[in-house]
Structure 1
């Protein structure tokens, strides 16, 4: 792979938030161990076969590759400044990393570990690949430049400008027709704390939906019928029905990372209580809590069947937690 791109900018370390709401815990026993990675691990991704976990190390500016059988880091890949989030292409051959401090996306060949950088705009944050693998969508938190689109074959970049708000997280519908983007502005600005729905072909805004305070991660359910948005500061979960466009709001936890789906239910990291919460996808209630032993600032997680891998921003580790089976 021939990749020759570059960019530079500045960034700063993020701050996790806490809140006052609490849920009665349903604590289950579990086994946990931890793997040392780079400094400040944040975004995390897992290969489709569960063999490798990729972790963005925000402070040290690299990506750790973990072999899940040996539970060891087998590769450390230097990227650019403040890698924030990571996602894999549908075929697993590419990893895309948003470098918040360098205005770029690093593209990693997951077989050879060759790496190159694509300039996208100041402060890229969220990233998702279309289901057909042809486009990479990147949220960019700079004025008047809200979404970058990378052609996954040529690495050419186009930009959608002048859309409502600086954006945070992005996910895509199962048929590739809709983009769902969380965004927030300073108090008093228009479209503060919203989920914006965009046509992925025309990039026209279809809907702007109010969410709870500081929407962080956006996740489309596996069946495509719902979109989950976590209001991090408000500790609320907004659920959008994609067929009726009806939204409902539920009490939740402090969660900056993504929601992940298991065989039956959904899971998220409770950053305040340092637990994994299991959410019933029919009632949206928290039905189980699993501690993350040794966690300090758990940030994001991925799931391989009944095993969770959680990045710990403060401890510079990835925790492994075996989840109880129903």
Structure 2
């Protein structure tokens, strides 16, 4: 019967496709050439730097309490980290690994850098103002008032003109679950759009024509057409992290199924599911070169590598 075994390839490489990092890895970022992955370790209060070529952590950088989200700017020369437990954003020089801290307000959560690198936008969960703006030249902080509250996730249009901010409210609040569109120049509110329950992550498509909002509690995907302002809702998976865009389709982590799901960006249907071997609590992902996904696992304290090509 041995001749049948060839149709069942034995996959033995799974173990080496996980990289141990700090405790409670959550937010994750990758530089432009795919050579470095940066991971926020929420429990251990540090950031792991991974060399993707040899799949090793080459540096562990202490930040402040409960680092949640991370974004890279200035062609990867700076990393910005929200410290949920310290009311601060850590600024890391990715060459020297020097760290500075900027106070932004209580419970900073999500973060995005403008495409020109001049501003960093941070959602702040527990203050009267729900968005902090850091000037990256002076590190002065300004704040936007009058937004629905509290803010969760934020992303920016490719032309830097629009900010898309998701928020949730107590059931008796005026907006409950919404996406607020504001001008990044005047900070006036341009639109408020209802979303599915608990819009945990906002991702603008690379061409700026669509905004994807993950509704964590509803397991729905809301897709906004930025020109017509029409939204559509699609059944989705249990996902807290961002939608990530490949050359053609989009990807996300299904936390319950422990899979990477591929979403057709024309139909918004899930067209493929790829298991994440040995996953316990997959959280967020980035996409490297050759459609290689790096997925933070909050429970196993690892980064999983999954080839989606």
> TM over 0.5, yes or no?
yes
Map of 1:22 onto structure 2: none
Q: TM-score normalized by structure 1? A: 0.89
> Aligned to 2:125, what secondary structure does the other structure show?
strand
* In 2: Cα distance, 1:162 partner to 1:79 partner: 30
Map of 1:102 onto structure 2: 86
How much is the aligned-residue C-alpha RMSD, in angstroms?
1.1
Map of 1:252 onto structure 2: 236
* In 2: Cα distance, 1:134 partner to 1:306 partner: 29
**Aligned with residue 197 of structure 2, among 207, 210, 213:** 213
Shift of 1:190: 1.6
Shift of 1:90: 4.3
Shift of 1:143: 3.4
- Runs of 4+ in structure 1 displaced over 3 angstroms? 29-32
* In 2: Cα distance, 1:164 partner to 1:47 partner: 32
> Aligned to 1:244, what secondary structure does the other structure show?
coil
Map of 1:159 onto structure 2: 143
* CA deviation profile, 1:47-101 (whole Å, cap 9, x unmatched): 1010010000000000000000110100000000000000000411100000000
* In 2: Cα distance, 1:48 partner to 1:127 partner: 18
Asked if residue 89 in structure 1 is aligned to residue 73 in structure 2, the reply is: yes
Q: Looking at both structures, which has the greater relative contact order when contacts are Cα pairs under 8 Å and sequence separation is at least 6?
A: 1
**Aligned with residue 181 of structure 1, among 123, 141, 165:** 165
Map of 2:23 onto structure 1: 39
Asked if residue 322 in structure 1 is aligned to residue 307 in structure 2, the reply is: yes
Q: TM-score normalized by structure 2? A: 0.94
Map of 1:272 onto structure 2: 256
Moved more, 30-39 or 153-162: 30-39
Map of 1:62 onto structure 2: 46
Q: 1:226·1:239 contact (CA, 8 Å) conserved in 2?
A: yes
Shift of 1:185: 1.2
| Structure number, greater radius of gyration | 2
**Aligned with residue 306 of structure 1, among 291, 294, 298:** 291
Map of 1:133 onto structure 2: 117
* In 2: Cα distance, 1:274 partner to 1:96 partner: 28
Q: 1:144·1:163 contact (CA, 8 Å) conserved in 2?
A: no
Map of 1:195 onto structure 2: 179
* CA deviation profile, 1:12-37 (whole Å, cap 9, x unmatched): xxxxxxxxxxxxxxxxx986410000
Map of 1:4 onto structure 2: none
How many residues are matched? 296
Q: 2:147·2:180 contact (CA, 8 Å) conserved in 1?
A: no
Moved more, 31-40 or 275-284: 31-40
Structure 2 unaligned spans of 5+: 1-9
Q: 1:298·1:312 contact (CA, 8 Å) conserved in 2?
A: yes
Q: 1:301·1:308 contact (CA, 8 Å) conserved in 2?
A: yes
